[in-house]
Amino acid sequence: MSRTVLYRVALFVGLAVVAVVLLLPTFVRPAPSWLPWRQPVRLGLDLQGGTHLLYGVDIDQAIDRSVDRSMQDLERELRDAQIGASSVEMTGRIIHIRLANKDRRRDVESLVKDRFPGLVRATPSEGEGGDDDLAFTIEPREVQRLRENVREQALKIIRNRIDQFGVAEPTVQAQGNDEIVVQLPGIQDPQRAKELIGRTALLEFKLLAQGPQAGTVDKPGPGVQVLPGKSETGRRQSYLVERRTLMTGDVLTDARVSPGSATEGMAVEFVLDARGAKQFGQVTTTSVGRNLAIVLDGVVESAPVIREPITGGRGQITGRFDFAEAQDLANVLRNGALPAPLKLMEERTVGPSLGQDSIRNGILSFVVGSASVILFMVLYYRGGGLIADGALLMNVLLLVATFAAFGFTLSLPGIAGIVLTIGMAVDANVLILERIREELRLGKTPRAAIEAGYERAWYAIRDSNLTTFLSGLILFQFGTGPVRGFAITLCVGILTSLATGVFGTRVVYDMLTTRRRLTTVSL
């Protein structure tokens, strides 16, 4: 046996051994302790059941919030620059500035141009009322940029939340311009998952309003809003809170659950970055003796008294949480607030019984298709067909092992891709066997006919598989959901079919021709 043939045999046997080892966790339960992994082949939502959720992203509200933040920042910049403004208000997406001194108009325009590039002057029809009135609105290109960023940021945050929730192989992907599809395999009770995903988790720090100017719950004073919350005894209570936001949760770097007192339940500790620690220190220094409202999604979770400046960049949220509530709250705070609220538009639950039916039907179609192909190859090509069938089984083994190794999810479209891969693998062997037949008819020896058959069939096999592989890449790039699952199976199947149908069968023929002198080939 030549060295080249020996290398081919060793490599092929090595691939087979690796495939078997990778599939052990799938077929042997529990997995052997000596394996460095315990992960079987993952099944998709349509095979093992789970929850399908479709969310709509309220991008317009995110844009409105961005304009509102710009208005608050602009008001602070005007005050720091000592530019007198009798009022700074917002109507729709237009910021109206009424100046106390109309001679400062150019100063305002210069400040907005330098520090607020996303704002432009509004047209007179949009609301400038006179020489002492200026109006700014958000630039159209900034609106488009915000739309794209909001959806991408929402996708990222949802993925992070679900990953820490512990769902195996979730699917989170965009659909259309403002929709997100979430699939959670194995989750049959989606209520907690929905609460975790849909929670905006907008954390704000505000001061409780005090004094006569605060007004009452029925008639709050100017610059004051009424927010719901809980008292120290756990009862519902309304709070009078200043509208001005001192800082938001975007400065958080970490959040974790910590045990609280016996009356407060579990608590959530948060850590601020350098900028947040500085802001928190300034806020608590200038507001000693006042109540700091910790507002989460418009609800006052707690309103402790600031007894001394807090400069360490750490804080705590208490709200009579149980452990699961505190854990979910820490999760959403750690991964950041959603840039826009989500609206649940569709919810479907796939039961495990339906998943088992899908598995049964999928396996049945795979077995029937494979058995038909195997039987045809043996009857038509005899010994050569038997070798091709062995390569076919090795192909399926390698394909499923690849899914286990890389953590791909096997779904119904994936099973369809496997069946298609079987057909393509057989097609390659048919080309090779027919070429060998032609060479034998020309009077060549079996060894020469085999070498010529593989050499001449290779170019047709290469071109057809390459074009199909590129088609699979296009489907993966532009497809969604089941289409991408089919594309992954197709592309991986093409690679494994080339390894087994061309390389693997060649190894068998090399072994046959080197061990004995062939006088004929069973075709």
Amino acid at 451: E
Q: Closest Cα partner for 498 from 459, 460, 462, 468?
A: 462
Residues 381 and 420 placed together within one structural domain of the fold? yes
Q: Is residue 467, in this structure, part of any structural domain at all? A: yes
Confidence of residue 427 (pLDDT cuts 50, 70, 90): confident
Q: Name the token pair of 85.
A: 């403004």
pLDDT band, very low/low/confident/very high, at 396 (cuts 50, 70, 90)? confident
User: Taking Cα atoms as reference points, which of 118, 115, 310, 116 lies closest to residue 205?
Assistant: 310
47 belongs to a structural domain: no
CA distance 466 to 433: 21
Q: Say whether both 473 and 506 belong to one domain.
A: yes
Peptide bond before residue 352 is cis, with ω within 30 degrees of 0: no
Least confident range from 12-26, 137-151, 157-171, 265-279: namely 12-26
Residue 26 has pLDDT above 60, yes or no: no
Distances from the Cα of 165 to the Cαs of 44, 174, 193, 335, 364, in angstroms?
18, 20, 8, 12, 34
What mean pLDDT is predicted for residues 6-34? 59
Output the domain CATH number for residue 480: 1.20.1640.10
Average pLDDT of the segment spanning 184-195:
75
CATH number of residue 298's parent domain: 3.30.1360.200
pLDDT at 19: 63
Task: Answer whether residue 227 is part of any domain.
Answer: yes
The reply to whether 370 and 274 lie within a common domain is no
Domain count within the chain: 3
95 and 64 in a single domain? The answer is: yes
Q: Strand pairing partners for 255?
A: 270
Residues 372 and 496 in one domain: yes
In a domain, 155, yes or no: no
The overall pTM is greater than 0.85:
no
d(CA 516, CA 131): 103
**3-state DSSP assignment of residue 132:** coil
Residue 289, Cα to own-chain centre: how many angstroms?
44
CA 164 to each of CA 45, 187, 430: distance values in angstroms, whole numbers, following the listed order: 19, 14, 49
Both tokens of residue 480?
Answer: 């969604």
Q: What is the pLDDT of residues 134-166, one digit of tens each?
A: 888 888 888 888 888 888 888 888 887 787 666
- Does 410 score more than 80 pLDDT? no
> Two tokens at 214?
């605060």
Which range, of 22-36, 123-137, 295-309, 460-474, averages the lowest pLDDT? 22-36
Q: For residue 241, what pLDDT band results from cuts at 50, 70 and 90?
A: very high
* pLDDT bucket at 7, cuts 50 / 70 / 90: low
- Residues 6 or more apart from 188 whose CB is under 8 A from it? 49, 50, 51, 349, 351, 352
Is 470 among the domain residues?
A: yes
Q: Does 501 have pLDDT greater than 70?
A: yes
State residue 8's pLDDT score: 58
Round to whole Å and give the CA distance between 381 and 32: 40
Q: 56 vs 166, which has greater pLDDT?
A: 56
Pick from 202, 160, 203: nearest CA to 182: 160
Residue that wins the pLDDT comparison between 489 and 264 = 489
The pLDDT tens digits for 289-346 are 898 888 888 888 888 888 888 888 888 877 677 887 788 778 777 777 788 888 888 8
Is the pLDDT assigned to residue 183 strictly greater than 60?
Answer: yes
Q: Label residue 236 by pLDDT band (50, 70, 90).
A: confident
- Domain of 294? 203-322
**Mean predicted confidence (pLDDT) in 55-66:** 87
Domain assignment of residue 278, yes or no: yes
Provide the token pair at 213.
């100017």
367 and 271 part of one domain = no
The amino acid at residue 265 is: G
User: Does residue 405 lie within any of the structural domains?
Assistant: yes
First to last CA, the chain: 24
pLDDT at 91 over 60: yes
Question: Do residues 381 and 489 both lie within one domain?
Answer: yes
Residue 273 has a CB neighbour count (10 Å cut-off) of 14
Residue 521 within a domain? no
Percent of the chain with pLDDT over 90: 2
- Predicted confidence (pLDDT) at residue 227 exceeds the cutoff of 80: yes
Q: What CATH number is given to the structural domain containing 108?
A: 3.30.1240
Same domain, 315 and 361: no
